[in-house]
Amino acid sequence: MNRATKLINLVEMFSPADADSAVEKLKSGIKAPFVNVYKSTLGGVERTSILITVSLDPRESWVNGILENSRYFKMHYSYDGILEYISGSVKFRKTRPKNVEDAIAKINKVIEMQSE
């Protein structure tokens, strides 16, 4: 595989047209009491990314109903395949999953480690 082919494979983990199905896969695949996943086209439709919010605690147990009072994390899954931690009480290193299913597996692994 030449360098150009590798770059093409790395540049787009999901196309803008596939973003909606990727959002649904992430919503159904992440195993946590609270999961919010949505797509963002702030950088333009061709740079569609996915924003993920996960809480390890049920919504009813959040002090004053505030997400930030729970064990939570927010992530950004960019069109070029980088899954990056934004904020929260759970730590996660920036990674480049192979596909959406791999991203789900990595997120679920972090959730599992925190639940122990």
Q: Where are the domains of the chain?
A: 3-115
Q: Would you place residue 12 in the very low, low, confident or very high pLDDT band (cuts 50, 70, 90)?
A: low
Of 22-36, 47-61, 89-103, which range is least confident?
Answer: 89-103
Does residue 37 contact residue 51 with C-beta atoms inside 8 Å? yes
Across the chain, mean pLDDT equals 87
Does residue 28 contact residue 104 with C-beta atoms inside 8 Å? no
Q: Residue 96 has what pLDDT? A: 92
**pLDDT score of 89 more than 80:** yes
pTM: 0.84
Distance, in Å, from the CA atom of 39 to the CA atom of 87, rounded to the nearest integer, reads 18
Mean pLDDT of 73-82: 91
Say which residue the tokens 């990314």 belong to: 49
Q: Report the DSSP beta bridge partners of residue 50.
A: 39, 77
